[in-house]
Structure 1
């Protein structure tokens, strides 16, 4: 079934969409806006503009997240009257093939606003133009990778322009560039924010430790932000990541945080309270006015207040498709929020993390 409605649609240029766009912007900026009303209008938009969404909700339950596998088979896009300005690619839950996620101009603007607002709260607080070193390809080299876009956006907005840079390319990690940026940051006592896929960070640290490579004591305030996607061979715990960060880069445990993102979402979920919840030390995710993680029972898809179930993310910054995604991840619900504790299909990293793990494991490093 097509995800586009064949009946009367809400036009991209309709006043309904104009007002919805403005209210989502107010949610992101922290101004007064009713999140429940925004969510209700987003559901109305999806039901009106997508017959498949309406049928899916009628046969299951209103507002239930669209499975992430839908973005490979027949990706939903709610505005056939408006040509997308950007299409990002994602690997599906089995790790084979790619999905497509289309963004309109206003959809891109809302995503960028969300990325910067969340990064300001969770990554850059207390820092003034740190060196933002990205363990992802440059956006120009990987235009279909949403992680590359988001992290480059963060670097441009918050980072020191002279000491920030990207250190992953098609040959793998560019060690000389990484060493140079770190050395210069230490010399200038400029805090460093290392940000990228978990798998890249783990592959890099393990290779440096095995080769007895260099290590640094980065300036006070330096941080590591890793983005989901662990190695295929064995799941790496939060404590192991923090130990690597301390041994190789001199980053204190309280300088580490994890973010969860998906190509299908416009917003990211960051660690909330620094209290272990999951089996590998995963932290509960902080809820924002515009994005939240919740857990559904695998049996009847009811929402769980505690226990393990299917992770669902409701992202009110998503304009171009249904705003809730039923992911292929297990979530652990608890009083501090929902922790992401692994893939339903074990050992199958998703999207950007899968691609970057292949680059940095199989092709090694650029020396």
Structure 2
């Protein structure tokens, strides 16, 4: 590594080798994940004085709060123009934040998206109709969910039946009916994928109109988001809607957690209700894991509720550990995501939420 006074350049051999090893880690090659994590933290410390100072005040490697992406967005490579910049709502506070991805960062994110989707959603399916309840990437280029779900559709879906059905006026019911009708006629499984809130609103609208389908065997629902964010609708209620309106049984339901600041998603692992609204624990992968930290002193908890932290080894362009501003529930089966930290409780919940940018002199 270089001395602390000099940044590591984007084209430095250290970064090139790290990028290669992350790619191999994602695809399942024999790579030491602990070494990758250690090198990512060294890179963040070397290229971000504020991150180094933050880790000196707390535990080394503790997650950067998502609020930092609103006030001072971390980006480790000023010598490399970002390929894409996505906007995040930063619901731990007001306003929006920005998250920059270098070309290598984009490649690693897309590889992680495809690998995770193959493992948790698309296994056993041959070119399903991927119907997205998010805007198209063209319509929403700064929305990372639009990008990620389009990547999944292009890689796994049937080109004739893949489509976004969400626009500026809401869900296009005519387009949705046409796509579902063609899929049923062809006996082709459907993967409905989108935000939990959009799915809930859509099902309520369709039920009121007396519309329902019996989708082909193997069809799946992938809802992205937490249930506490959607008027307290439980996992059981979501599954009941999927069964009533689309004929998708509980085994066809997948929930995922993702954030603009993360390159990877966390999917449900064991199908065991552990959260107050039936939230399932998220599966850990070699390249991404969730854990819980105590609100008072930020120690990692093996059991119980606390602040959700995600370690994402596919993140190259900023510190790889994120303190999300969500509540997590840790247990033997893994960590469940149980809702956002409310604004009223933020100051009492985490030392880090206030302190990450107190000594910044530019980008984190």
* Same fold per superposition (TM over 0.5): yes
Once the 2 structures are TM-superposed, how far is the Cα of residue 140 of structure 1 from its aligned partner? 0.4
1:208 CA drift (Å): 1.5
CA distance in 2, matches of 1:95, 1:306: 27
- Secondary structure of the residue that 1:22 maps to in structure 2? helix
CA distance in 2 between partners of 1:300 and 1:98 (Å): 28
Aligned to 2:349: none
Cα deviation, 1:87-120, whole Å, max 9, x if unaligned, reads 0000012463110000000000000000000000
2:358 match: none
2:192 to 178, 194, 210: 194
Aligned to 2:152: 154
How far 1:138 sits from its partner (Å)? Answer: 0.2
Per-residue CA distance 1:238-284 (angstroms, 9 max, x = gap): 00000000010000111001000000000000000101010100000
User: Could you tell me whether the CA contact under 8 Å between 1:197 and 1:229 is conserved in 2?
Assistant: no
Q: Deviations over 1:309-362 (max 9, x none)?
A: 000000000000000000110000000110001111179xxxxxxxxxxxxxxx
- Say whether 1:336 aligns with 2:333: yes
* Correspondence list, 1:69-108, <5 A: 69-94=67-92, 96-108=94-106
Tell me if structure 1 keeps the 8 A contact 2:227–2:235. Answer: no
| Alignment CA distance shift 1:155-1:233 (3 Å) | closer
Shift in Å at residue 229 of structure 1?
4.2
The answer on whether the counterparts of 2:228 and 2:339 sit within 8 Å (CA) in structure 1 is no
Q: Deviations over 1:172-198 (max 9, x none)?
A: 100000000000000000000000000
Q: Which one of 33, 37, 57 corresponds to residue 39 of structure 1?
A: 37
Structure 2 residue 218 is matched with structure 1 residue 243 = no
**Alpha carbons 1:199, 1:231 under 8 Å: kept:** no
What is the correspondence of 1:124-273 to structure 2 with a 5 Å cutoff?
Answer: 124-212=122-210, 214-230=211-227, 234-273=231-270
The question of 1:117 aligning with 2:115 is answered: yes
* Residues 1:299 and 2:304 aligned together: no
Structure 2 match to 1:362: none
Match of 1:350 in 2: none
SS in 2 for 1:235: coil
- Structure 2 stretches lacking a partner, 5+ long: 345-364
1:317 alignment partner, SS class: coil
What residue in structure 1 maps to residue 50 of structure 2?
A: 52
1:62 is paired with a residue whose SS is coil
Whether the 8 Å contact between 2:144 and 2:260 is mirrored in structure 1 is: yes
Counterpart CA distance in 2 for 1:112 and 1:164 is 18
Per-residue Cα deviation, 1:121-171 (whole angstroms, up to 9, x for no partner): 000000000000000000000000000000000000000001111000001
Give the match for residue 364 of structure 1. none
Shift of 1:210: 2.1
Residue 216 of structure 1: CA displacement?
0.1
Q: What CA RMSD, in Å, does the superposition of the two structures yield over aligned residues?
A: 1.6
Q: Does the 8 Å contact 1:91/1:98 carry over to 2? A: yes
TM-score (norm 2): 0.92
> TM-score, normalized by length of structure 1?
0.91
Give distance in 1, aligned partners of 2:51 and 2:34: 20
2:22 corresponds to: 24
Shift of 1:6: 9.0
CA distance, structure 1, for counterparts of residue 28 and residue 73 of structure 2: 31
Q: How does 1:300-319 map to 2 (within 5 A)?
A: 300-319=297-316
Find the residue that maps to 2:80 and give its secondary structure: coil
Q: CA deviation at 1:232?
A: 5.2
